[in-house]
């Protein structure tokens, strides 16, 4: 209990800037916290401060951008105050929305057991919708692909613009594209509702619909959350901003962010949210936190110089002030090519280890995953362990999705998307056959007033299954039926265990040569499931926690070298940072130069550099070879625009040892 904890000495724990923000009186506040200035610290102490001044845990809403951030902050609050983290409402916008919809969704036609689908499933549904609405559309070569349309729709929804306008904007040369995409979307929406599934954007949109149509439900939360805190405010989009507004009707909000670190506009992040905060909350107080505890003055000077190249007027002026002792200016390292780059980095790392650094002190950052290929190869060649926050996430692995699809379906038999996923594993069953089977079973079940999962294992249905699949079908349908029955009585972990031991366990043995690895994953899923009280909550979190990457080896890997994209490195810090591929075409990417947002790429570079505490290496490969053709590359424009006195160029002769 909180009383067991000695009162926190806020004055002692914080600097003046932080203290002012943490103890700010009621009313809207905007905290502009630069990189490394203790943003998380400020936010967690703010929560602790509120709690210590008598606010109840369930009166605080803490909205974060990632699950990781939410977890970290709640843990720190718990350490500080002793209040268990689950007493607080903290999480991503999506997970909070999910939580509320699970309770009140029925008011807008969402059953309690609705399922959340991921991006690829959403694409599949959209694709079938397009095929229904306009069968010729997909076959016409000049038309955008379903994936691109899905992207466009999502962007429009997140920025709260008309889908038809967005489509017409992007494809002015396609006749009537606006109406078409609009029609696709309408069908897609209907399809999801009939399956009782929601995509990511639905969670946010439907929450707003729920609040709008049911003011009495909205009032519950508006009244309850006396304090709303939003992290990474610069990366919120219009949809999220509207959600914040729908909670904070009395301006009881503290937004924390750094406009210089806005790197998600491609996902609809709206710079205006932070820049126009004081307009929407007229009495807002701005707190600037500019003391940087992370980096040497040299690294900070360099980072500040990146921002100086920004066109003026689009940002709050700020300059990070260093308190750390002086170090070496950042190294600019031209290398021949990416292989050479890998060799340089490995040699230098060896040197750093000899100097007494640990592998875990070192991070290698890059713009895109594939930039790290050569480094990865070199690292495994030399048997150096590394931790990579890779593109493939735990939940997205095929076997995890196969298994959860079964549980999902048993829990919500209208989820045809899930049905297609696992039935499609059987021979001679593709999307079409799967759909027909579902339709047939439904009619049969209705006629005989049978439970759907019961009907699935009947003789009549079996006869409709292609011959090659019938044997597997008997075992599969039995498992689905068992799962469905178990939902009533069993806990989530028991249900997952049932699925792991069922049809799928024999199936993976036949399909995958490395089935033992995969079975291990599935078994770890049972452990994960035991953390949840209801199967709905488990299924939701499995999707929403998708970014919780393959961390099962997490514990033993903590001590090793980190490879990560700049985006995923946000919020982290390392004594030694290597940024690789700093050439025009790689960072910024060619695509960004051609038709992207250079300003955002520059902010991304700023984020990358401000991760470094002691030493920063900027590697520039002069040649890039893709396939057979070799191309000359220019140094990244972001380095060229910086005063050369702020960094030192390292000349490495091909054979010179470090």
Query: How many Å from the N-terminal Cα to the C-terminal Cα in the chain?
Result: 55
Q: What are phi and psi of 327, to 5 degrees?
A: -145, -160
- Looking at 17-25, 305-313, 345-353, 565-573, which segment touches DNA (CB under 7 A)? 565-573
User: What 8-state DSSP symbol labels residue 269?
Assistant: B
Q: Check residue 119 for interaction with DNA (CB under 7 A).
A: yes
Q: How far is the CB of 594 from DNA (least distance, A)?
A: 10
The strand pair at 89-92 and 561-565 is best described as unpaired
494: tokens are: 């028991």
Which residue of 55, 107, 346, 546 would you call a contact of DNA, by CB under 7 A?
546
> Rounded to whole angstroms, how far apart are CA atoms 64 and 78?
17
Find the binding residues for DNA in span 329-358 (CB under 7 A). Answer: none
Q: Which of residues 266-325 bind DNA (CB under 7 A)?
A: 266-267
Nearer to DNA, 195 or 434 (CB): 434
* Nearest CB to DNA, comparing residues 348 and 438: 438
Compare residues 65 and 507 and give the one whose CB is closer to DNA.
Answer: 65
Stretch that binds DNA, among 41-49, 90-98, 357-365, 451-459 (CB under 7 A): 90-98
- What minimum distance in Å lies between the beta carbon of 145 and DNA? 6
CB-based contact 241:247 (threshold 8 Å): no
CA dihedral of residues 204, 207, 209, 212 (deg, nearest 10) = -130
How far apart are alpha carbons 627 and 349 in whole angstroms? 29
Least distance (Å) between residue 267 CB and DNA = 5
C-alpha 116/C-alpha 539 separation (Å) is 8
Piece in contact with DNA (CB under 7 A), picked from 159-167, 379-387, 421-429, 648-656:
421-429
Which of helix, strand or coil describes residue 260? helix
* Residue numbers 425-484 binding DNA by CB under 7 A: 427-434
Does residue 67 belong to the site contacting DNA (CB under 7 A)? yes
- Binders in 12-51 for DNA, by CB under 7 A: none
Residue 31: strand, helix, or coil = strand
Binding region for DNA (CB under 7 A) out of 55-63, 259-267, 269-277, 608-616: 259-267
Judged by beta carbon, residue 93 or residue 452, the one nearer DNA is 93
Pairwise CA distance, residues 241 & 273, whole Å: 7
Residue 589: CB minimum distance to DNA, A: 6
**303 vs 568, beta carbon nearer DNA:** 568
Q: Please select the residue that binds DNA; options are 200, 344, 574, 617, rule is CB under 7 A.
A: 200
Shortest approach of DNA to residue 6 CB, angstroms?
A: 35
CA torsion 163-164-165-169 (nearest 10°) is 100
| CA-to-CA separations, 73 to 57, 85, 86, 89, in angstroms, rounded | 14, 9, 12, 12
Spatial separation of the C-alpha atoms in residues 556 and 117, rounded to whole Å: 32
Applying CB under 7 A, the site for DNA has a residue count of 43
Nearest to 109 by CA among 196, 217, 214: 196
- Evaluated on CA atoms 254, 260, 263, 265, the torsion sign reads positive
Identify which of residues 2 and 630 has a Cβ nearer to DNA in the complex.
630
Closest approach, Cβ 66 to DNA, in A, equals 4
Rank residues 475 and 547 by Cβ distance to DNA and give the closer one: 547
Cβ neighbours of residue 317 closer than 8 Å, sequence gap 6 or more: none
Q: Minimum CB separation from DNA for residue 620, in Å?
A: 19
Paired sense of beta strands 89-92 and 60-64, if any: parallel
Report the nearest approach of DNA to the CB of residue 432 (Å). Answer: 4
Helix or strand holding residue 387 (H, E)? strand 386-388
Give the span between the Cα atoms of 538 and 533, in whole angstroms.
8
Here the tokens at position 572 are: 């982290």
93 binds DNA (CB under 7 A): yes
CB of 128: closest distance to DNA in angstroms? Answer: 12
Which residues make Cβ contacts (< 8 Å) with residue 443, sequence separation at least 6?
none
Which of residues 80 and 204 has its CB atom nearest to DNA in the complex? 204
Minimum CB distance to DNA smaller for 119 or for 337: 119
Query: Among residues 249, 591, 593, 630, which is the contact residue for DNA, using CB under 7 A?
Result: 591
Based on the shown chain and the rule CB under 7 A, indicate whether residue 147 belongs to the binding site for DNA: yes
**Is 269 within 8 Å of 241 (Cβ atoms)?**
no
Structure tokens at 307: 């921002």
Q: In the complex with DNA, which residue's Cβ is closer, 167 or 526?
A: 167
Residues 362-401: x/- map of binding to DNA (CB under 7 A)? -----xxxx------------------x-xx---------
Candidate list 160, 224, 226, 567; residue touching DNA; CB under 7 A? 567
**Does residue 565 bind DNA (CB under 7 A)?**
yes
Using CB under 7 A, pick the residue from 140, 626, 645, 655 that binds DNA: 626
**Location of structure tokens 């405010």:** 233
Candidates 213-221, 309-317, 451-459, 562-570: pick the segment binding DNA (CB under 7 A): 562-570
Region binding DNA by CB under 7 A among candidate stretches 91-99, 286-294, 447-455, 487-495: 91-99
Sole binder of DNA in the list 46, 68, 318, 497 (CB under 7 A): 68
Tell me which long-range contacts 428-432 makes (C-beta under 8 A, separation of at least 24).
428/466, 428/467, 428/468, 428/469, 429/465, 429/466, 429/469, 431/124, 431/128
Considering Cα of 356, then 360, then 361, then 364, what sign does the dihedral take?
Answer: positive
CB 436 within 8 A of CB 424: no
> Looking at beta carbons only, is 68 or 281 nearer to DNA?
68
Q: Which residues bind DNA (CB under 7 A)?
A: 65-68, 92-95, 119-120, 145, 147, 200-201, 263, 266-267, 367-370, 389, 391-392, 427-434, 544, 546-547, 565, 567-568, 589, 591-592, 596, 626
């Amino acid at each position: 209990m909180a009383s067991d904890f000695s009162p926190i000495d806020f004055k002692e724990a914080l600097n003046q800037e932080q203290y002012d923000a943490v103890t700010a009186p009621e009313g809207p506040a905007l905290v502009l916290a630069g990189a490394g200035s203790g943003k998380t610290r400020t936010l967690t102490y703010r929560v602790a401060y509120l709690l210590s001044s008598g606010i109840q845990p369930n009166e605080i809403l803490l909205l974060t951008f990632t699950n990781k951030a939410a977890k970290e902050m709640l843990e720190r609050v718990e350490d500080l105050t002793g209040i268990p983290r689950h007493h607080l409402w903290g999480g991503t916008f999506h997970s909070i929305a999910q939580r509320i919809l699970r309770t009140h969704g029925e008011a807008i036609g969402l059953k309690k057991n609705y399922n959340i689908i991921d991006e690829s499933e959403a694409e599949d549904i959209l694709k079938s919708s397009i095929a229904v609405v306009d069968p010729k559309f997909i076959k016409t070569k000049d038309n955008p692909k379903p994936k691109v349309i899905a992207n466009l729709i999502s962007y429009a929804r997140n920025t709260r613009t008309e889908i038809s306008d967005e489509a017409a904007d992007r494809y002015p040369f396609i006749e009537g594209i606006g109406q078409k995409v609009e029609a696709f979307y309408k069908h897609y929406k209907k399809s999801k509702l009939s399956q009782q599934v929601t995509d990511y954007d639905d969670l946010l949109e439907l929450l707003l619909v729920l609040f709008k149509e049911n003011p009495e439900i909205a009032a519950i939360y508006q009244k309850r959350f006396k304090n709303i805190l939003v992290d990474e405010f610069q990366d919120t989009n219009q949809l999220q901003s509207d959600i914040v507004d729908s909670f904070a009707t009395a301006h009881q909000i503290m937004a924390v962010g750094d406009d210089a670190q806005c790197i998600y506009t491609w996902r609809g992040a709206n710079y205006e949210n932070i820049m126009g905060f004081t307009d929407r909350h007229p009495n807002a107080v701005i707190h600037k936190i500019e003391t940087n505890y992370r980096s040497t003055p040299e690294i900070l000077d360099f980072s500040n110089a990146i921002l100086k190249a920004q066109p003026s007027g689009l940002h709050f002026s700020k300059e990070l002030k260093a308190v750390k002792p002086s170090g070496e200016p950042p190294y600019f390292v031209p290398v021949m090519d990416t292989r050479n780059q890998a060799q340089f980095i490995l040699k230098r790392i060896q040197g750093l280890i000899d100097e007494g650094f640990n592998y875990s002190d070192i991070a290698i950052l890059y713009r895109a995953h594939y930039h790290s290929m050569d480094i990865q190869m070199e690292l495994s060649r030399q048997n150096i362990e590394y931790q990579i926050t890779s593109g493939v996430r735990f939940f997205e692995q095929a076997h995890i999705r196969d298994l959860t699809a079964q549980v999902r379906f048993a829990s919500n038999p209208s989820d045809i998307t899930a049905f297609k996923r696992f039935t499609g594993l059987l021979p001679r069953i593709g999307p079409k056959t799967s759909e027909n089977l579902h339709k047939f079973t439904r009619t049969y079940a209705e006629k005989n007033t049978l439970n759907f999962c019961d009907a699935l294992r009947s003789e009549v249905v079996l006869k409709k299954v292609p011959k090659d699949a019938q044997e597997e079908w008997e075992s599969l349908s039995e498992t689905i039926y068992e799962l469905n029955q178990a939902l009533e009585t069993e806990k989530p972990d028991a249900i997952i265990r049932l699925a792991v031991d069922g049809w799928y366990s024999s199936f993976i043995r036949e399909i995958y040569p490395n089935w033992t690895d995969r079975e291990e994953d599935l078994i770890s899923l049972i452990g994960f499931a035991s953390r949840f009280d209801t199967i709905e909550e488990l299924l939701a979190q499995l999707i929403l926690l998708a970014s919780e990457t393959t961390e099962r080896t997490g514990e033993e890997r903590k001590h090793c070298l980190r490879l990560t994209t700049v985006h995923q490195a946000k919020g982290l810090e390392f004594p030694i940072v290597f940024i690789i591929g700093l050439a025009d075409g790689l960072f910024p990417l060619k695509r960004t130069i051609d038709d992207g947002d250079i300003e955002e790429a520059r902010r991304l570079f700023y984020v990358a550099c401000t991760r470094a505490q002691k030493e920063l290496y900027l590697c520039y490969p002069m040649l890039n070879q893709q396939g057979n053709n070799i191309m000359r590359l220019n140094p990244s424009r972001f380095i060229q625009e910086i005063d050369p006195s702020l960094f030192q160029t390292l000349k490495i002769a091909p054979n010179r040892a470090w």
